[in-house]
Structure 1
Amino acid sequence: MAPTAQSPLMEVEGVTVRFGGLAALSDVGLSIAPRSVTGLIGPNGAGKTTLFNVLTGVVRPQSGTVRFKGRQLRGHRQHHLAGMGISRTFQGLNLFGYMSVLDNVIVGADPLGRSRLPEMLTGLGRYQRDERELTDRAMSVLEEFGIADVAHALPATLPYGLQKRVALARALVSEPELLLLDEPASGLSGADMADLAATIRRCSRTMGVMLVEHHMDLVMDVCDHIVVLNFGQVICAGPPSTVQADPAVAEAYLGTPVQEAAGD
């Protein structure tokens, strides 16, 4: 895979976040290109989750800017993301246990459905037609993920790997321009991991993807560009080959200088 030369979908510049006297992020910058996969990695406590939360509107930085398609995001919230063309997954599944698999995915297709409440209550307007269209779109995505046969099951009755597919289907059914994946490989088996890698590659043909992940084999396999955080700062950024060869990255993960670790 080769990164696109087009303008970035999302740009982060000079982002700093402090919690009390602790700087969780210090002057962090990165960009996510269309039709490519950007990985965000780093040891525990490096600031990955904080940065992900900045991008999704959960955390407000003390300084710095976040731009999507050239427009600065100010005061955006998670429920604004779908309307902007951004979709995300969660570290946890965050599926609605009382709703069927199909209905969980429909929520992703129509995250602002509450605005149609009058039509839902009266049965008038375009509600019934829209509902059919949403159902058809959700079923199409479930078929693409190979789980259409469990559309009417409750998520909790399914194996964990299938629940992960449901969560990813829900994120993709809105056909976003940017997909933010928060540790999608956690808890997956080897076979499920291979399916996930194939899905991420397929997604990158039509959208930008940012992947926050601990599984380095997956990161190195699917990412075009990788950003490495340590103690809230970017210590390396580049293609997988550059990141793998950087001594600062090895030191951050091993906790000891590379030369010392090698016995030099």
Structure 2
Amino acid sequence: MAPTAPSPLMEVEGVTVRFGGLAALSDVGLTIAPQSVTGLIGPNGAGKTTLFNVMTGVVRPQRGTITFKGRPLRNHRPHQLARLGIARTFQGLNLFERMTVLDNVIVGADPLGRSRLPGMLTGLGSYQRDERELTDRAMAVLEEFGIADVAHAYPSTLPYGLQKRVALARALVAEPELLLMDEPASGLSGADMADLAATIRRCSQTMGVVLVEHHMDLVMDVCDHIVVLNFGQVICSGPPSVVQADPAVAEAYLGTPVQEAAGE
């Protein structure tokens, strides 16, 4: 008997987004499997950021549905993602510059501070124990990323590559089931890029990962499945080998058919 395929972690179906008369996305769909890396690529203006913003609740589509673990997400907001089991990184770092590295990561473990607020106000209850547990969790993730030694530094004092690790540690400390990564390789050196690839592979052992990225070497290296957008529509979807061989993808990126580009 053939093994049963795992249920999708997230499904996007028939999503259409219009800004005035412009269709940023037209009937777009994708499926994210658990314990896999799904790449979302396309030329500038293809609709990647809009789709990412729909998935994270920043943009509301005019049509289409999003389900997470089989449940529809109709009115989710960015600040609710952690509670749903979804984490995201940003194109920019979005770190709190006046908080230490450790405190930045603790925010990821308890993004709204709800579990600590009553104790912080009264000094009663389990506040001190909860604070220790959050600190221990944050330090464990910093250890995993090899940056525990800068836990009490401020992000602005660190090299850019280390700041990127802090931002990723903050996203992962809540142990999400789905990680949405927006241009994580932007500004990284070759060595930092190799570390990022290893981190993405490690993450995919326990969660689904969506990677919006321009660095094709990274995408082809770490992704199990790739969705290609152009002018707001899906023009190709499949494993890296299929995407690399698709003439429509080459034309979208090169602006000319494959045969002409090759001189045929």
- Taking the aligned partners of 1:223 and 1:195, their CA distance within structure 2 comes to 15
1:99 pairs with 2:119: no
Amino acid at match of 1:196: L
Partner of 2:126: 126
Deviation at 1:115, TM superposition (A): 5.6
- Taking the aligned partners of 1:102 and 1:255, their CA distance within structure 2 comes to 46
- Taking the aligned partners of 2:79 and 2:126, their CA distance within structure 1 comes to 23
Q: Any residues of structure 2 matched to 1:121-200 within 5 Å, and which?
A: 121-200=121-200
- Taking the aligned partners of 1:82 and 1:246, their CA distance within structure 2 comes to 36
Query: 1:31 aligns to what SS in structure 2?
Result: strand
Q: TM-score, normalised by structure 1?
A: 0.98
CA separation of 1:149/1:115 partners in 2, compared to 1, >3 Å: closer, same or farther?
closer
Deviation at 1:116, TM superposition (A): 3.6
- Deviation beyond 4 Å, 4+ runs, structure 1: none
5+ residue gaps, structure 1, are: none
Query: 1:113 aligns to what SS in structure 2?
Result: coil
RMSD, aligned α-carbons: 0.9
CA separation of 1:148/1:115 partners in 2, compared to 1, >3 Å: closer, same or farther?
closer
- Taking the aligned partners of 2:161 and 2:35, their CA distance within structure 1 comes to 26
Q: Any residues of structure 2 matched to 1:46-61 within 5 Å, and which?
A: 46-61=46-61
Amino acid at match of 2:14: G
Amino acid at match of 1:105: V
Partner of 2:30: 30
- Taking the aligned partners of 2:157 and 2:116, their CA distance within structure 1 comes to 31
Deviation at 1:58, TM superposition (A): 0.1
Q: TM-score, normalised by structure 2?
A: 0.98
CA contact (8 A) 2:116 2:131 kept: no
Using the TM superposition, name which of 108-117 and 79-88 deviates more. 108-117
5+ residue gaps, structure 2, are: none
Partner of 2:255: 255
Deviation at 1:259, TM superposition (A): 1.1
1:204 pairs with 2:179: no
Corresponding residue pairs, total: 261
Query: 2:128 aligns to what SS in structure 1?
Result: helix
Partner of 1:79: 79
Amino acid at match of 2:197: A
